[in-house]
Amino acid sequence: MRMSPIYDSTEHHERDIFLTEICESGDVLRRTAGRLREQRRALHEVRHRLAGRRLILTGMGSSADAVTGLASVLGRSGRESTVINTAELLHFRLASLTDQHGVIIVSQSGHSVEAVKLMNALTKDRAIPVVVVTNMADSPLADAADFAITLGAGVEVGPSSKTYVATMLVMQVLAELLACDDEVETVLARAGHRADVAANALAAWIGDAEGVGGRLADWIEKAQSLFVVGRGVGVTAAELNALVLKESAHVPAQSMDAAEFRHGPLELAAPGLAVALICVEPSVAALDARLRTDLLSRGAAVMTIGIDACRTDDLPIDYVLPGSEPLIDAGLIALPLLLAAWAEASRRSETPGAFSVGAKVTTCE
Ligand SMILES: N[C@@H]1[C@@H](O)[C@H](O)[C@@H](COP(=O)(O)O)O[C@@H]1O
């Protein structure tokens, strides 16, 4: 796939499509909030259909990352949910679904093979309500679904960036619809306000997109191996960042829960190891600080990317945002390493973000 550069008249230079899409993330947040308002009736129905049900949350790739964050936030409000990647659910666990369950399938493209196959398998059993979240209203997944909530993020050609950020805003709205009693209108009004604030918060990084990405890419290039770790909803951003670093820049970044990192991978702490620590959960900031100190004391390099509420003397944050709600934070905080992925990709290829082995949309299992 050859991607043509897009001329950006405001910046007076050419930006390729991957960078353009990353930089659209702020505008897309506002657009998605507006799109959600247009779908208020469908959102009422989602709440009604899933009320009291045991929730199964599923997706692949960046969409699996998004539902992982949703499960974390639902759990804080006492709402049980289970995350199962769509392939695992499709091939091994369909028999575990009962008429007590409700399923949320997230797929940006609405074309991922496992999601489409799962949808077809589930529509045979109408007792299980299925809600789809997708960017593509015109897709096999949306067509087969009773309820498809669409992102309205516009077409995305490069690796997940603006659609991921938009998905996280929708995850926030779903978390509120499924775990609190506020009126749909109230939830949507809050989402609109938060989208606005979040878009403004991203402006500084987007305004210096090449600089932010380039500096982080320089840091990554010095390392022999790279981990991206976080806790709570930070896992979502860590997974997404490592995925995009791999698929766009061929950087073999590994992601995991920062708690899991202590259970073995910590042995790698030495010069040559770089750890990007996503700090978006203030309740565990002291644990993040301790991990950072332990890594530094062994000669590893640590870069912290997080929200202001996590910042302490022991946990300086290198790339900081004011912070909003956890799921929105998990979307926004991915920006610096997305920009690094772009910068690294653009050093390696004339068409940064173009897939050469896999694909933007996986239609083959
Ligand atoms: N290479 C892409 C990933 O980047 C993407 O995250 C995943 C899920 O895509 P979707 O959300 O469209 O189902 O599919 C493909 O494998």
Nearest CA to ligand 1 atom 10: 107
Mean pLDDT, rounded, of the chain: 94
Please name each of the domains of the chain with its CATH number.
Answer: 11-204 (3.40.50.10490), 205-348 (3.40.50.10490)
Cα 362 to averaged position of ligand 1 atoms, centre (Å): 6
The per-residue pLDDT for 7 is: 34
Report strand pairing: 54-58 vs 81-83: parallel
* pLDDT for position 124: 73
Residue 11: predicted pLDDT: 46
Query: What is the reported pLDDT for 349?
Result: 83
Q: How far is the CA of 214 from the centre of ligand 1 (A)?
A: 25
pLDDT at residue 268 tops 60: yes
d(CA 284, CA 178): 25
Query: What is the interface pTM, i.e. ipTM, of the complex?
Result: 0.98
For 19, the 3-state DSSP assignment is: helix
Q: How far apart are CA 33 and CA 192, in angstroms?
A: 5
Least confident window among 29-43, 139-153, 218-232: 139-153
Find the 163 Cα to ligand 1 centroid distance in Å. 11
Q: Work out the percent of the chain whose per-residue pLDDT is above 90.
A: 89
Range name among 21-25, 183-187, 277-281, 354-358 with the lowest pLDDT average: 354-358
Paired with 15 in beta bridges are 6
Mutate to test the pocket of ligand 1, among 68, 108, 168 (most ligand atoms within 8 A of CB): 108
Sign of CA dihedral 105, 109, 111, 113: negative
The alpha helices in 56-161, defined as continuous H runs, are: 62-76, 86-88, 113-123, 140-144
pLDDT of residue 125: 67
Sequence-ordered list of residues with C-beta below 8 angstroms from that of 335, at least 6 positions apart, any chain: 22, 25, 165, 202, 205, 206, 212
Q: How far is the CA of 60 from the centre of ligand 1 (A)?
A: 6
**For residue 160, which atom of ligand 1 is closest to its CA?**
4
Task: Pick the closest to residue 45 from 190, 135, 174 (CA basis).
Answer: 174
pLDDT average, residue stretch 172-199: 97
Q: Judge if pTM exceeds 0.90.
A: yes
Measure the CA–CA gap between 65 and 54, rounded to whole angstroms. Answer: 20
- Model confidence at 161, pLDDT cuts 50, 70, 90, reads very high
- The mean pLDDT of 68-89, rounded to a whole number, is 97
Owner of token pair 């469908």: 42
Residue 5 pLDDT:
40
Of 346, 350, 341, residue with least CA distance to 4: 350
